[in-house]
Structure 1
Amino acid sequence: MQATPFPGPFAPAPGADRYPALDLANSAFTVAGGRRVDLIGEPADADQWLFERGFAPAGAGLRQWCAGQLRELRAHVRALFAAHVAGRPAPEAALAAVNEALTRAPAASLLRWDPERGLHREVAHPVSRIVEHALAVLAADAAELLTGEDAERLTACGSPPCDRYLLRNGRRTWCSTRCGDRARAARAYARRTRGTSQDPEGPGAD
């Protein structure tokens, strides 16, 4: 499933095109200056986010409660990611919430019959259960990421104040070109500052 680019200059973090759960975790993030961006903060935003990722038809008309369920799962997925990256035990509340979401929609193809198709199997997730189906798929994807071969690559962006997650590729630990540029600029500034403070011929030297 291909992730849709964030508005403006914020491209999806590495790995978000492969893992919708990573894309969900990064649907709220902090940008330079401390401004908080939430891509599913309102029902219409959640509607669009689910549609662009193939989880809902256009104009599904999600209500506030449905959008809240999506934001709640995001918080728990982020808690699991944070614990994993830090090498801490997984929070019990987050584990319980993700496991509960896994049961929201049937995983098995049920047996159906209709006059035109006869007996056939299909996964049951009618329009009335759009959010339940999305939550189940996203929770399963988070579980797969955290227990699969890419788990060791999961890391947090190393360019504060950004708080997105990504799959590390080599030594890269930032989620975007913008964050990489900011991290490099911060390192260069730190080197210049250290050089100036250690220079005996610098300002204030005898």
Structure 2
Amino acid sequence: MIDRAPGADLHPGLDVANSRLAIPGQPALDLLESPEAATRWLIDRGLAPADAVLHEICAERLRDMRARIRELFEAHVRQTAPPPAALAAINAAMTRVPTAAELRWDPDRGLHRATPHPTDQVVDRALGVLAADVADLLTSAEASRLAACDSPPCVRFLLRGGRRQWCSVRCGDRARAARAYARKSH
């Protein structure tokens, strides 16, 4: 199991942006590489019901949203204008289906909030939640903490806290080892 980058546990949009990892000496690891993997990722994060089954077209839509989110994060980190196609994708996902949990009643639970997951809208709903989270993150005070991991070849993003520059202990150790090696080499 790969540890989540700081902030990814609070922001599913950040978590999906980090669902493709570069691991030194290994092929890239894509947590959304297949319909089964994408389904598991959504279920594990409460973005789809336990009995959901995604097809390749749905998994591809999720991977495409990840690419658009990464484009927005990269533009934010570089302090450049975001690509119009990425903005359009986020806005389309946020407006396609309602993402708010409905107020419901049942005699055992009383009043409660529940998110419906109609079979034909599982991915639309998940994309809407992810897009809304990204929009909220990028327009919040936390946006100033969004950063790219400073340990190549890592491609993950994180919310910086204090002086932390890396998404994981492993990346921090790798960066410190590289600096020590560079000092010894010179």
Match of 2:109 in 1: none
| Among 158, 165, 186, the residue aligned to 2:157 | 165
How much has 1:31 moved relative to structure 2? 0.6
The answer as to whether partners of 2:31 and 2:38 remain within 8 angstroms in 1 is: yes
Q: What is the 5 A alignment of 1:125-204?
A: 125-194=117-186
Q: Is the 8 A contact 1:106 1:124 kept in 2?
A: no
Task: State the TM-score, normalized to the length of structure 1.
Answer: 0.81
Q: 2:20 pairs with 7, 21, 28, which one?
A: 28
Is 1:67 the counterpart of 2:59? The answer is: yes
DSSP 3-state at the match of 1:85: helix
1:123 Cα offset (Å):
5.8
Higher relative contact order (CA 8 A, sep 6+): 2
2:73 matches 1:88: no
Q: Which has the larger radius of gyration?
A: 1
Q: Secondary structure at the match of 1:18?
A: coil
Once the 2 structures are TM-superposed, how far is the Cα of residue 170 of structure 1 from its aligned partner? 1.3
Q: What secondary structure does 1:171 align onto?
A: coil
Contact 1:47 1:59 in 2 (8 A): no
Q: Which amino acid aligns with 2:98?
A: P
Q: 1:71 to 1:124 in 2, by over 3 A?
A: same
Partner of 2:96: 104
Residue number among 35, 47, 52 corresponding to 2:44 in the alignment? 52
- Code of the residue aligned with 1:46 in structure 2: it is A
CA 1:62–1:147: 2 relative to 1, 3 Å? same
Letter in 2 for 1:100: A
Instruction: Give the TM-score, by structure 2 length.
Output: 0.90
C-alpha displacement of 1:181: 0.4
CA distance in 2, matches of 1:141, 1:126: 21
Cα distance in structure 2, aligned partners of 1:52 and 1:122: 17
Unaligned runs of 5+ residues in structure 2 are: 105-112
Q: Which residue of 1, 9, 34 corresponds with 1:17?
A: 9
Verify the 8 A CA contact 1:106 1:123 in the aligned structure 2.
no
Instruction: Give, in angstroms, the shift of residue 122 of structure 1.
Output: 7.0
Question: Aligned in 2, Cα 1:189/1:140: closer, same or farther, shift over 3 Å?
Answer: same
Same amino acid, percent of matched pairs: 56
Local SS of the residue matching 2:141:
coil
Secondary structure of the equivalent of 1:13? coil
Letter in 2 for 1:161: P
Cα separation, 2, equivalents of 1:179 and 1:80: 23
